[in-house]
Amino acid sequence: MRVKVLVVLAIVSAGMVPVRAAAPVVGTKSATAAMPQIDAPIALLIDVGSGRTLYARDIHRRFVPASITKIMTSYVAFDLLTKGKLRIDQRISMRPETFREWHNVGSTMFLPADAQPTVAELIEGIVAVSANDACVVLAEGAVGSVPAFTKLMNQAAEELGMRDSHFNTPNGWMDEGQTYVTAADLATLSSALMTRFPDLYRRFYGHAEMTWGDITQPNHNPLYGR
């Protein structure tokens, strides 16, 4: 059963914008008085600038993150770029088997079979339109295979202290619950993404839309696009 979750990080640092992920939370009277009705069973609202939790509900409850998984995918990509193990202008070819498996499956960039997108284009597709195909192409191009990439995702989770999270896919596609997170862990991850890679975060997050080829799509995050 899909769990409705709301995770919002209130960003006060200069140049940063709110990021919506997903999950429930509980807070003080002053915080809840200003909050709208929240129906989600899991929720978390944090001011990253001060580190203050404004609202929280059941933040350590595990749930299947679906596309929220892609926050970790972008974190790993940013880390590889920062370490020089990946180049922003590096082109990655779509593998035939990847095209067959992920062409037009769920949210997509609509990458053709002969696509050779750059790393920057793939990250933009992942961040802006939650592209499942872009996640797999990036994972395979970055470290050779999806299992090798998810290993990096889990290593990053461990290093960040995300003790109640595990990643089995780079795009969050259904995997019988092998991928799971908590709101608390998502807050840790999202904060690290913004504070450790501020330039890359500003470059890729917050665009209202993205264009690949002759297809323009609005950002799937309602705070930015729809």
For residue 215, give the H/E element and its range. Answer: strand 215-218
What are the CA-CA distances from residue 7 to residues 21, 57, 65, 96, 104 (Å)?
5, 10, 11, 36, 28
**Per residue in 47-61, is it b (16+ CB within 10 Å) or e — as a string?**
ebeeeebbbbbbbeb
Lookup: tokens for 53: 């939790």
Polymer length in residues for the chain: 226
**Active site amino acids:** 67, 70, 130
Label the pairing between strands 42-47 and 5-10: parallel
Residue of 216, 86, 175, 78 lying closest to 166 (CA atoms): 175
Burial class (CB within 10 angstroms; exposed 0-12, middle 13-18, buried 19+) of 12: exposed
The Cα 215–Cα 115 span in angstroms is 14
Burial class (CB within 10 angstroms; exposed 0-12, middle 13-18, buried 19+) of 103: middle
The single residue listed with the structure tokens 């202008």 is 89
